[in-house]
């Protein structure tokens, strides 16, 4: 297991960045092996996916977290797969991590730490689930990097159009940026400017706005290479 924590060194809250499917599988195995509790039909085990975490979602999570546990001597586990989150929703969760309830453990699974507000990140233990040489790419980044600037723009415009038309979820843009960042990292040399990594981080942070211009953000990154 590459997440590097055990039952004995567990803290109340984590933000885990990486491949969501891989992290989910590792967390389920961890919960079952370390705590010997069921992940199905267990009222103290909460797993949910949020394309966008809203203020209503946060209020519901708080209500569950502050309620009585079904089994007092067993932990209450929250695995929250968050692809995006409003500022209001994140602010509403701050007190849960400032004054954690004993026995509650939160695992916020994200594609990028950039989607989380600094105030929320500061209250969580950050874990990047990455083993060199094992990253699985969703997009053909090798071809993207070899293409002309015009073709790169055409590529990212296609991603943005698919999101705008509702054919794919907005978080696919973040997956694309993650793929690009990882390949640049694994093949880093002097030809790859630090500015490109900064552009990727900047674009991901703006993806968390209420109505981001995905097309403009992706084109900005494409032009930075």
Q: Euclidean distance between the first and final Cα of the chain, in Å?
A: 34
Residue 131's pLDDT is 60
Residue 75 near residue 44, CB atoms below 8 Å: yes
Sheet holding 13-17, edge to edge: 45-50, 76-82, 104-110, 13-17, 125-128
Residue 1's pLDDT is 44
Superfamily of chain region 7-128: P-loop containing nucleotide triphosphate hydrolases (3.40.50.300)
CA distances from 166 to 49, 161, 173, 220 (A): 18, 8, 13, 22
Question: CA-CA distance, 213 to 156, in Å (whole number)?
Answer: 12
Partners of 188 in the β-ladder:
none
Over residues 185-208, the mean pLDDT reads 79
**Residue boundaries of the structural domains of the chain:** 7-128, 141-224
Residue indicated by tokens 């790419």? 137
Over residues 44-68, the mean pLDDT reads 93
Q: Mind listing the pLDDT tens digit for each residue in 62-105?
A: 999 998 888 778 889 999 999 989 899 999 999 999 888 888 99
Question: CA-CA distance, 53 to 75, in Å (whole number)?
Answer: 24
Tell me the whole-structure pTM to 2 decimals. Answer: 0.80
Q: What is the DSSP letter of 115?
A: G
Kind and range of the H or E element at 105?
A: strand 104-110
């Amino acid at each position: 297991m590459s997440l590097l924590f055990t039952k004995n060194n567990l803290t109340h809250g984590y933000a885990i960045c990486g491949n969501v499917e891989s992290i989910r599988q590792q967390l389920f195995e961890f919960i079952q092996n370390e705590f010997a509790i069921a992940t199905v039909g267990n009222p103290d085990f909460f797993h949910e996916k949020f394309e966008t975490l809203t203020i209503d979602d946060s209020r519901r999570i708080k209500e569950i977290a502050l309620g009585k546990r079904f089994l007092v001597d067993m932990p209450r586990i929250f695995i929250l797969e968050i692809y995006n989150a409003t500022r209001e929703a994140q602010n509403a969760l701050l007190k849960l991590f400032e004054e954690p309830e004993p026995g509650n453990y939160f695992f916020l699974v994200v594609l990028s730490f950039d989607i989380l507000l600094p105030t929320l990140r500061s209250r969580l233990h950050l874990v990047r689930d990455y083993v060199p040489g094992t990253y699985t790419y969703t997009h053909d980044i090798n071809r993207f990097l070899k293409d002309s600037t015009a073709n790169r723009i055409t590529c990212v415009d296609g991603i943005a159009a698919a999101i705008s038309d509702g054919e794919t979820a907005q978080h696919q843009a973040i997956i694309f940026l993650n793929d690009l960042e990882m390949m640049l990292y694994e093949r880093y040399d002097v030809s790859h400017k630090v500015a490109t990594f900064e552009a990727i981080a900047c674009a991901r942070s703006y993806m968390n706005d209420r109505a981001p211009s995905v097309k403009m953000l992706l084109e900005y990154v494409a032009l930075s290479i």
